[in-house]
């Protein structure tokens, strides 16, 4: 969305080119996406008039230059604009990564003062220039064209932060930050480009390989072409990790068997598959009717997956398909051993998080030779899913610290509904309400995953300081790692 001519003049100034009787001003008009270049001209009669000359893209604006990098050596600075590499316009981050992969490149940069520099750079073949862009994608993020029957975003209540409603489905985000994509909004040219540029690994939300069922689940007529695209990736020797959001009575049972058979047939291109239960909030009015998994149905899923792992281990030498921790907790099954996760390829999907965390805590505690005397008391706040697990972690911690009072508190998710049990979706208000029942602790440890990345803001825009002020208690956000937790006790924060 672009603002009309003449508006937004009080937005921050980005660049300034000045000529005699004719100067250009650039303004950020729409977040970091657009710059409107406004030209002020002076008529023969001396009056000044404003002309909307052109709209240029601010997406190639350099935001950061790494210390000691080639870019710094070349005097490239934040605010400069990357215009081209070897005469080619840089459309997006994939273009950028591809175009800089050479030993000699010519980089055209527009400096903040409007000068155009052409820099001849000799470097190692795959050496990065050391620049980061205002928009990491250098392009608009592609939104998804699906209307999945289980979409979590469709189940958000109204009135939340606008960015939470954005449905991305962008292969560049898969490449950059591991987002899962459905491949339903990509043209043949874009698939060709992934193959040509060898973008890998790609994270794909599969859900099912049955074309008709996938069209139905994703509500998208293009969704049935998935297997043919995955076969092309296999021919090109690209690596793919897959995710299945399992919906009871829809893509489980024989459909899951079919999907796993199809995907394991594409091994080693398809490296692993995560199976996660559908997340259901209490805001599902007018949406597809979906029943949640319970203890019995979770057991059925796990019995199938654990057997399939054995079969695939014999056949292709890997367990290949992994169930998320949530299934194990719901079924009451023990979490698999560390080695059974084969290096945790799907940990971002909640597959093996608990086992890996426990392993890290054990490792950190081994470094403590003599028991540490602490004289402190903390609450560890978590979602209901991890309550029993965190109680086990607490017991482990208490073996290495004296005078430490640790209480694990499960926060029920009233905001999204009780079926949402993970700690990463707990809101500030729910946390505050639960903590108001407790008094006399030195601090409350929460996982950083409860907060928006690199901020102190919860999903409902309540901040850590809000809770601290309201309850007069310290909140201590911990890195989601064994080290992150144990360091809090070691430092006696
Ligand atoms: S791909 Fe489906 S689940 Fe993901 S955002 Fe789009 S509609 Fe929602």
pLDDT, one tens digit per residue, over 232-285 is: 999 999 999 999 999 999 999 999 999 999 999 999 999 999 999 999 999 999
Which atom of ligand 1 is nearest the CA belonging to 184? Answer: 1
DSSP β-bridge partners for residue 193? none
What CATH number does the domain containing 414 carry?
A: 3.40.50
Residues 410, 279, single domain; the answer is no
Specify if 382 maps to a domain: yes
Residues 200, 280, single domain; the answer is yes
1 has pLDDT over 90: no
Specify if 376 maps to a domain: yes
DSSP state of 154: G
Quote the ligand 1 centre to 179 CA distance (angstroms). Answer: 12
Specify if 283 maps to a domain: yes
Residues 182, 203, single domain; the answer is yes
What CATH number does the domain containing 205 carry?
A: 3.80.30.10
Residues 341, 389, single domain; the answer is no
**Residue percentage of the chain with pLDDT more than 90:** 70
Nearest alpha carbon to residue 39 among 55, 60, 28, 61:
55
Rounded Cα distance between 40 and 21, Å, is: 8
Q: Quick one: pLDDT band at residue 345, thresholds 50, 70, 90?
A: very high
What is the tens place of the pLDDT at every residue in 93-124? 888 888 898 899 999 999 988 899 999 999 99
- Domain containing 9 equals 2-133
What is the tens place of the pLDDT at every residue in 242-256? 999 999 999 999 999
Estimate to the nearest angstrom the gap between the alpha carbon of 26 and the chain centroid: 32
Ranked by mean pLDDT, the top range of 149-158, 162-171, 317-326 is 317-326
Residues 114, 235, single domain; the answer is no
Quote the ligand 1 centre to 287 CA distance (angstroms). Answer: 14
Which atom of ligand 1 is nearest the CA belonging to 147? Answer: 7
Rounded Cα distance between 435 and 196, Å, is: 53
Rounded Cα distance between 128 and 389, Å, is: 42
Quick one: pLDDT at residue 171? 73
Residues 177, 98, single domain; the answer is no
Residue of the nearest CA to atom 3 in ligand 1? 151
Contact between residue 378 and residue 445 where contact means Cβ atoms under 8 Å apart = yes
Contact between residue 400 and residue 371 where contact means Cβ atoms under 8 Å apart = yes
Count of structural domains, the chain: 3
Residue of the nearest CA to atom 4 in ligand 1? 151
19 has pLDDT over 50: no
Residues 48, 191, single domain; the answer is no
SS3 annotation, 32-57: CCEEEEEEEEECCCCCEEEEEEEEEE
Quick one: pLDDT at residue 468? 97
What CATH number does the domain containing 11 carry?
A: 2.30.42.10
Specify if 248 maps to a domain: yes
Instruction: Give the residue from 133, 167, 200 where a domain finishes.
Output: 133
What is the tens place of the pLDDT at every residue in 422-466? 999 999 999 999 999 999 899 999 999 999 888 999 999 999 999
Start-to-end CA distance of the chain, whole Å, equals 46
Rounded Cα distance between 172 and 181, Å, is: 10
For residues 197-223, average pLDDT: 95
Specify if 95 maps to a domain: yes
Residues 160, 112, single domain; the answer is no
List, in sequence order, every beta strand (DSSP E) within 170-235. Answer: 202-205
Angle at the Cα of 21 from the Cα atoms of 15 and 27, rounded to 5 degrees = 25
Angle at the Cα of 301 from the Cα atoms of 299 and 303, rounded to 5 degrees = 65
Instruction: Give the residue from 79, 105, 133 where a domain finishes.
Output: 133
Cβ of 145 below 6 Å from ligand 1: no
Contact between residue 350 and residue 424 where contact means Cβ atoms under 8 Å apart = no
Quick one: pLDDT at residue 57? 53
What is the tens place of the pLDDT at every residue in 365-410? 999 988 999 899 999 999 999 999 999 999 999 999 999 999 999 9
Specify if 353 maps to a domain: no
Specify if 126 maps to a domain: yes
Specify if 391 maps to a domain: yes
56 has pLDDT over 50: no
Mutation probe of ligand 1 site: the residue of 147, 150, 153 with most atoms within 8 A of C-beta? 153
**pTM summary value:** 0.81
Instruction: Give the residue from 304, 322, 346 where a domain finishes.
Output: 346
Residues 163, 114, single domain; the answer is no
Residues 126, 158, single domain; the answer is no
- Name the least confident of 76-90, 148-162, 175-189: 175-189
Rounded Cα distance between 231 and 241, Å, is: 14
Quick one: pLDDT at residue 169? 76
Contact between residue 218 and residue 185 where contact means Cβ atoms under 8 Å apart = no
Q: Quick one: pLDDT band at residue 5, thresholds 50, 70, 90?
A: very low
Nearest alpha carbon to residue 205 among 186, 179, 224:
179
Residues 321, 223, single domain; the answer is yes
Mutation probe of ligand 1 site: the residue of 218, 244, 284 with most atoms within 8 A of C-beta? 218
Rounded Cα distance between 193 and 183, Å, is: 13
CB-based burial label for 364 (10 Å; 0-12, 13-18, 19+): buried
Residues 325, 387, single domain; the answer is no
């Amino acid at each position: 969305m672009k603002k009309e001519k003449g508006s937004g003049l009080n937005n921050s100034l980005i660049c300034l080119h000045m000529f005699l009787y004719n100067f250009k001003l650039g303004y950020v008009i729409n977040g970091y996406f657009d710059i409107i270049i406004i030209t002020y001209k002076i008529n023969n009669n001396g009056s000044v008039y404003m002309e909307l000359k052109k709209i240029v893209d601010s997406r190639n604006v350099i935001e950061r230059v790494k210390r000691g990098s080639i870019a710094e050596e070349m005097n490239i600075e934040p605010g400069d604009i990357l215009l081209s590499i070897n005469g080619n316009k840089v459309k997006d981050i994939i273009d950028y990564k591809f175009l800089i992969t050479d030993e000699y490149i010519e980089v055209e940069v527009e400096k903040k003062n409007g000068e155009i520099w052409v820099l001849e750079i000799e470097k190692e073949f795959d050496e990065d220039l050391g620049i980061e862009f205002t928009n990491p994608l250098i392009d608009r993020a592609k939104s998804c064209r699906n209307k999945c029957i289980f979409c979590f975003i469709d189940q958000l209540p109204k009135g939340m932060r606008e960015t939470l409603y954005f449905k991305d489905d962008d292969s560049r985000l898969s490449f950059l930050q591991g987002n899962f994509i459905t491949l339903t909004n990509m043209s043949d040219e874009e698939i060709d480009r992934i193959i040509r540029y060898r973008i890998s690994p790609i994270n794909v939300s599969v859900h099912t390989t049955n074309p008709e069922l996938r069209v139905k689940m994703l509500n998208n007529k293009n969704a049935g072409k998935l297997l043919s695209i995955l076969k092309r990736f296999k021919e090109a020797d690209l690596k793919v990790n897959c995710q299945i959001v399992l919906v009871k009575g829809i893509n489980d049972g024989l459909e899951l068997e079919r999907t796993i058979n199809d995907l394991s047939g594409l091994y080693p291109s398809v490296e692993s598959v995560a199976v996660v239960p559908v997340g259901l909030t209490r805001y599902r009015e007018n949406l597809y009717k979906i029943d949640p998994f319970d203890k019995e149905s979770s057991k059925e899923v796990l019995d199938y997956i654990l057997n399939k792992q054995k079969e695939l281990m014999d056949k292709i030498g890997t367990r290949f398909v992994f169930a998320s921790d949530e299934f194990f907790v719901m079924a009451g099954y023990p979490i698999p051993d560390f080695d059974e996760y084969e290096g945790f390829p799907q940990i971002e999907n909640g597959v093996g998080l608990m086992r890996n965390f426990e392993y890290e805590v054990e490792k950190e505690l081994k470094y403590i030779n003599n028991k540490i005397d602490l004289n402190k008391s903390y609450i560890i706040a978590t979602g209901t899913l991890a309550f029993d697990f965190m109680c086990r972690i607490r017991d482990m911690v208490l073996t290495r610290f004296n005078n430490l009072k640790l209480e694990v508190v499960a926060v029920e998710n009233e905001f999204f509904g009780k079926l949402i049990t993970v700690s990463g979706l707990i809101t500030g208000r729910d946390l505050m309400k639960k903590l108001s029942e407790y008094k006399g602790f030195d601090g409350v440890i929460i996982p950083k995953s409860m907060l928006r990345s690199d901020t102190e803001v919860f999903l409902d825009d309540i901040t850590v300081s809000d809770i601290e002020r309201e309850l007069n208690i310290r909140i201590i956000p911990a890195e989601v790692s064994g080290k992150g937790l144990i360091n809090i006790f070691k430092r006696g924060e």
